[in-house]
Each structure stands twice: as structure tokens, then as C-alpha cells.
Amino acid sequence: MHIGISRPQSPPHPIPDVDAAVVARHAEQLGFESVFYGEHPIRPVAQAGHAVHRDGVPFFQDTLVALSRISAATTTIRFGGGVFLVPEHNPVQFAKELASLDHYGRGRLLVGCGVGWSRVECELLGGHWDRRWAQTEESIKIMRRLWTQDTVTYDGEFYRVPPVQLFPKPAAVPHPPILIGAGASERTFTRIADYADGWLPAFVTREAAAGAAAVVAAGRRRLDQLAVEAGRDPAALQITAIARGLSRAGAPELRARIAGLADAGADRVLISMPTVTSAQEAADALDRLAEAAF
């Protein structure tokens, strides 16, 4: 069982300076296995006629920039997108960026893939909201080919790629793990068995976290079945569970939740950090989490 952290969020006013490199370096020193940062390039003011601009909505650092800083500032901790919003990226350019990150990070990248919640954001950045998962599937398949083949072509619904080559390849062989960030639906599990390397479910409240072990256990059983049917090794499909709402839990509760998720079949648990406004607050939060978790 690996224990990592899910990135600190920042309140919108004022914009704080919480450097991902500083956070990750401290997490590495404390013994955390990984650190994940989410992705939201913009924040819509309104969505489908409903205002979403509110003080409680956090800002995010640019995820690729944050992970680049982490890669340069650390040596052992793994880093990932939790999750990258795949329809908002051109797959060829995204494959190049991620391959470069993994190349210079010496194989430490984890690629969490999702589609987000905002139609406004998705469509503004080139996504097809009503077909966002189909678009994501195409993107991931293109990226996997670019990472593992010398010359790649692709002709699909959303993308057409003439013969091209991409270098450098990722350091990870055959490529960085691709984790699907979505709920416990049958379609999620079939996607993972078809073209991904694991599942990245998020349990967003204490109440959801309380039942997370049962959800993970059921997901583990279904992934194992689908892997066998697809001729894949079930052990190759990893589960990384994001446990939000536990950042201020006491040591007994936090350790019990982590143990429960491990027993259920999770390979990694990410503890979501609380909102912080300074590097010192981030360090203090990490110290508390490490003391409680280890």
C-alpha cells in the first residue's frame, strides 16, 4: 500500500503563493509516495444558467507546470494529474508534454484521466461535451501509440493523425500508468480493462469515505474479472483511491480508513490536503497528515 497526497487547493482571494515544488519536496522528506494535482484551467462564472462563481471554489495551479516543478525539485516521489481533463488537450501535443515530463522525471509520472464537470470549460478548450468520453478514449489510444511506436497514424471520429513520430519516449516502460478518474460504473471498469492501467475513484466527503472500502472491494472484483476476460494480468490494474474529507481526522480514524481501503484492494490511497494559503500552512498540514498516517 502506497500513501500519497492530493494537492492543496487555494482560495480565490487572495491568490496565494504555494509552490508545488516546495509542497512535494516536503512530502517526499516525510515519506509520502506520491503527490497529485488536479486540473481546471479556467473557472466558469455561470453554467447552464446557474452561477458557479463563489468564494468557496478553489483555484488550481497549471498542472503541467506544477508537475514540472515537482519533477525538478524531487528525486523519488511520484507525481500525477488527479485528474487531467483529457478532452481539453490536443492528444499529440499532450503526449509530447507528458512524455517529456516522464523522461526528465525518470519514470515517476502517473496519468490520471477524466473529463471534468463543466460544459463551458470543456467546449471552450476544444472538447466535445456530449461525446467527451469517446473523445477521451481516442486521445488515450493516440497517446499510447505515440509513446510506444516509432511511426503513428490514426483516423478516428475526433482526430486524424498523418504519419508522425514523437521523441523522446517516456522513461516508464511501456508508458506512464493511465488511471481512469471516474465513478464505479460498469463503463468505467470496461474502459480500464480495454485501454488503461487503473482506476482513480474520489470519495469526496467523510460519509462517502466511510463506505469507500466496500466500493473499492466491488470495483477490485470486477476489474479482476474483466482483466482475465481481456487476457490481462489483474495485478497490472491498480486502484488509487482519493480520500477527501479526512485531512483533519485523528490518527486512529485515518489509519483505519487507509487499512480498510488496502484490505479492499486499493494499491494507493491519496489523502486530500486541506485548503492552504501559504507554504508554511502547507508544511504544517503535511506534518499533521504524516504523523497521523504513518
What's the rounded Cα separation, in Å, for the pair 71 and 106? 9
Beta bridge partners, 241, equal 269
pLDDT at residue 61 in the model: 80
- Phi first, then psi: give them for residue 170, nearest 5 degrees: -60, 155
- Tens-digit pLDDT profile for residues 120-160: 999 999 999 999 999 999 999 999 999 999 999 999 999 99
Q: Is the pLDDT of residue 202 over 80?
A: yes
Residue 56: per-residue pLDDT: 45
Mean pLDDT, residues 199-210: 71
Mean pLDDT lowest for which of 84-88, 202-206, 238-242?
202-206
Give tens-digit pLDDT for 166-198: 999 999 999 999 999 999 999 999 999 999 999
> Measured between alpha carbons, how far is 36 from 57 in angstroms, rounded to an integer?
19
Average pLDDT taken over every residue of the chain? 90
Q: How far apart are CA 74 and CA 223, in angstroms?
A: 33
Separation of alpha carbons 75 and 21, rounded Å: 11
Environment class of 32 (CB within 10 Å of its CB; exposed 0-12, middle 13-18, buried 19+):
buried
Model confidence at 58, pLDDT cuts 50, 70, 90, reads low
For residue 278, what pLDDT band results from cuts at 50, 70 and 90? confident
pLDDT at 42: 81
| Cβ 187 vs Cβ 224: under 8 Å | no
With beta carbons less than 8 A apart as the criterion, state whether 293 and 254 touch: yes
Residue 282 has pLDDT above 70, yes or no: yes
- What ranges make up the beta strands (E) of 115-248? 152-155, 160-164, 178-180, 198-199, 202-203, 238-243
Q: Is 118 exposed, middle or buried (0-12, 13-18, 19+ CB in 10 A)?
A: buried
Does residue 152 have a cis peptide bond before it, meaning omega lies within 30 degrees of 0?
no
Q: How far apart are CA 81 and CA 61, in angstroms?
A: 12
For residue 210, pLDDT beyond 70:
no
Tell me the residue length of the chain: 294
Q: How far is CA 252 from CA 30, 33, 259, in A?
A: 19, 20, 10
Q: Radius of gyration of the chain from Cα atoms?
A: 19
Structure confidence at residue 54 (pLDDT): 46
Q: Is the pLDDT of residue 55 over 50?
A: no
Task: Look up residue 104 and give its three cell numbers.
Answer: 526528465
| Window from 1-5, 10-14, 153-157 with minimum mean pLDDT | 10-14
Contact 293, 3 (CB under 8 A): yes
Fold classification of 2-293 (topology level) = TIM Barrel (3.20.20)
* pLDDT grade for 50, boundaries at 50, 70 and 90: low
pLDDT, residue 60, reads 67
Residue 85 has pLDDT above 50, yes or no: yes
Average pLDDT over residues 12-35: 86
